[in-house]
Structure 1
Amino acid sequence: MPPTPRRSTILEVARLAGASKTSVSRYFGEERDRLSPSLQARIAHAAGTLGYQPNQMARGLKGGRSKLLGMLVADIRNPFSVAITHGVEQACRQYGYSLVVCNTDNDPEQERQHLDLLGAYQVEGLVVNASGSPERQLHTFISQGTPIVLLDREVDHVEAEVVGLDNHLAIDMALEHLVDQGYQAVLYVSEAPQQSSTRQKRLARFNHTTEQLGLIHSSSLLANSDGTATLQALSDFLATHQQHACAVLCGNGNATLTVTRLFQQLDLSLGKIGLMGIDELEWCALISPGITTLAQPTDAMGKTAVQCLMHRIAPHASSMPAALSFSPTLIERGSTQR
């Protein structure tokens, strides 16, 4: 076997550049601007020639800063989680931070384990899309001075900024659109609301607003991935309200995918039976005649979450965002055109 290549050292870079070790350290740290342009050029050339890469973890820990942000995601398979993680990662990069992402799979025990892991990594801030109620551990982070931002879901008794969709506005927009399109009866399909303040708020708002609008309404909770219970609920709803124009409103992307499959299974005509979902998914435009959605501004939400953290970590580098609650965008397609 060939020998493992040896890592170049900061001292070797300094010798080749004709500079001090302190200058090289400043070049790879936050004091690069204190060096002259010619010295910076010599150090860059020397580092490139030697293939030198600084150990950022060691540098950060030595200075009391890991340059890491942590993120807990309740379900990485959820399209919303994928999109929001992309937004958070992009924002981290802008601030010169790396992101450690932990998927909890909606398992409170995994959530506790991941929080212990992120604590061991000494993350400087934490974005939490909670799957359980990790109050005790989050309070530990807060007591140690680590800022926390809650993403999409609240956690009881934890005082922190909550960045997410304006859920009341989203439900109201969806129902007003369906009414404008002439639908008179609406079935709401959601994943189980336990452990998710967002699902609870959307379901409660649905019941409230349908009453206000005088709509016939019902709801079905997804009990399993194949949607067996919802298949029966959908069939019963349509059979009961044959004399009315019926539509289905889906509470998130996973629900939209399940219900779309049920429409195909029951050979239902999109539009004649309305279908609308919260969360824009790439395939929604591909299912003829297209599925109407409410798109969340996930990149802006992710950036805002990181900006909140950076305001706590380095107030001079980032101001506090003006808004933490976001409006969705209606993307109208054929599935809600009667």
Structure 2
Amino acid sequence: MRPITIADVAKQANVSKSTVSQYLNKRYEYMSDKTRKNIESAIEKLNYQPNIVARSLKQKSTFTVGVIVANILHTFSTHVIRAVENFFHDKGFQIIVCNADDEPVKEKKYIEMLRAKQVDGIIIFPTGGNLDLYERMLRDEFPIVFMDRTIKDMDIATVMLDNHLASKLAVDHFADKGYEHIAILTTSVIRNISPRVERIEGYRNAMAARGLEVNAEYIKTADLDRIALALNELFHLEKPPQALLAGNDIVLIEILKYIKEQGLRIPEDVGVIGIDEVPFANFFTPPITTVSQPAIDMARKAVDLLLQQMNNDLEEKDKSVIRLKPSLLERKSCITIK
């Protein structure tokens, strides 16, 4: 049997081929509801399958976008991916999701693979280890948006959290409860990954602003498999911290595991706040106070910026770093200290 074509659909629906084409491209502005229903019915009756390759060649678009996350295990990453997929689906695009595991080598392979597949653009949570590739995409005027992380002196549109404010919200909440000896623990900053560095900077600034001592022993960074060791060092100091600020959701999980293993109690023995909302925070015992990122709003902004580049909507591309504000979700993991 010969393949069903647009002409067959048009004949069945009693409309022109251009009207069917407009329907397939979701251009309904000058199309009546009756016409839309007739075309939809014809497509279903004939079991018409659009030729994606031909469509891509004709419109010079694959209607596909790549998303490369640094670490898909972060709750924030999965929330952003879900929202990005929703927004692009509404625009008729599909997404390809790649997980770099915070490894520049994997990220490089994924960038090269996505470009070989001729995706229309890429949203990247950059590892920071492929400056040459980022610069090449800029030279090629290839649509690219960074999410969550910024690269110094890299002229690429970026959407990220106000990380200094995130730490300030947590430190201020601790201080309002009477805590003075506050520690921060985050994952490794070896490659100067901006959210981690900025959250430590925000912690330092907020502590100083509240007149609290910034104790270098209370600032810990470690790879995931050494977080328990870092916590052990904190709790064996001559003056252990009264409160812990987890720099991200993965660190928060490690902190909660350690506290349980050591027989400590939250908030009686130590107050805890995590940056990044997590699904279990509200029903953990006790419920954990978190600083939440506006993941959906951040995803929407990244999609808008990428679409602007893909559609050449603006003569002057927006290459600024756009920061969205976090919010504190107060629960029961801190106690008022007299």
Provide TM-score, normalisation by structure 1.
0.88
Q: Map of 1:202-221 to 2, 5 A cutoff?
A: 202-212=199-209, 213-215=211-213, 217=215, 218-221=218-221
Q: 1:324 aligns with which of 319, 322, 331?
A: 322
Q: 2:239 aligns with which of 216, 230, 241?
A: 241
CA contact (8 A) 1:127 1:149 kept: yes
Q: 2:61 aligns with which of 65, 73, 87?
A: 65
Q: Residue 116 of structure 2 aligns with which residue?
A: 120
Query: Structure 1 residues 12-21 or 30-39, which shifts more?
Result: 30-39
Amino acid paired to 1:172: K
Q: Map of 1:46-65 to 2, 5 A cutoff?
A: 46-65=42-61
Q: Residue 296 of structure 2 aligns with which residue?
A: 299
Amino acid paired to 2:293: Q
| 1:287-322 Cα deviation digits (max 9, x unpaired) | 2121111011101111111111122233659x9799
CA contact (8 A) 2:289 2:333 kept: yes
Query: Structure 1 residues 107-116 or 14-23, which shifts more?
Result: 14-23
Report the Cα distance in structure 2 between the residues aligned to 1:58 and 1:76, rounded to whole angstroms.
33
Q: Residue 81 of structure 2 aligns with which residue?
A: 85
| 1:151-180 Cα deviation digits (max 9, x unpaired) | 111124420122111011111111111000
CA contact (8 A) 1:248 1:275 kept: yes
Q: 1:122 to 1:175 in 2, by over 3 A?
A: same
Report the Cα distance in structure 2 between the residues aligned to 1:321 and 1:120, rounded to whole angstroms.
24
CA contact (8 A) 1:270 1:289 kept: yes
CA contact (8 A) 2:177 2:335 kept: yes
Q: 1:57 to 1:251 in 2, by over 3 A?
A: farther
CA contact (8 A) 2:160 2:323 kept: yes
Q: Residue 200 of structure 1 aligns with which residue?
A: 197
Q: Residue 228 of structure 2 aligns with which residue?
A: 228
Q: Residue 311 of structure 1 aligns with which residue?
A: 308
Q: Residue 260 of structure 1 aligns with which residue?
A: 256
Q: 1:142 aligns with which of 138, 143, 146?
A: 138
Does residue 286 (structure 1) correspond to residue 283 (structure 2)? The answer is yes
Q: 1:76 to 1:7 in 2, by over 3 A?
A: farther
CA contact (8 A) 2:187 2:222 kept: yes
Amino acid paired to 1:118: L
Cα drift, residue 18 of structure 1:
4.1
Report the Cα distance in structure 2 between the residues aligned to 1:169 and 1:6, rounded to whole angstroms.
62
| 1:225-274 Cα deviation digits (max 9, x unpaired) | 3633123223224xx226xx710011000110000111101111111211
Report the Cα distance in structure 1 between the residues aligned to 2:79 and 2:232, rounded to whole angstroms.
32
Amino acid paired to 2:123: V
CA contact (8 A) 2:62 2:118 kept: yes
Residue-pair matches, total: 329
Amino acid paired to 1:274: G
CA contact (8 A) 2:157 2:321 kept: no
Amino acid paired to 1:298: A
Cα drift, residue 138 of structure 1:
2.1
Q: 1:187 to 1:33 in 2, by over 3 A?
A: closer
Amino acid paired to 1:270: I
Gaps spanning 5+ residues in structure 1: where? none
Provide TM-score, normalisation by structure 2.
0.88
Q: Residue 70 of structure 2 aligns with which residue?
A: 74
Over the matched positions of the two proteins, sequence identity in percent amounts to 28
CA contact (8 A) 1:87 1:301 kept: no
Cα drift, residue 323 of structure 1:
8.8
Gaps spanning 5+ residues in structure 2: where? none
Query: Structure 1 residues 119-128 or 169-178, which shifts more?
Result: 119-128
Report the Cα distance in structure 1 between the residues aligned to 2:214 and 2:163, rounded to whole angstroms.
21
Q: Residue 39 of structure 2 aligns with which residue?
A: 43
Report the Cα distance in structure 1 between the residues aligned to 2:80 and 2:30, rounded to whole angstroms.
37
CA contact (8 A) 2:87 2:303 kept: yes
Q: Residue 189 of structure 1 aligns with which residue?
A: 185
Query: Structure 1 residues 124-133 or 252-261, which shifts more?
Result: 124-133
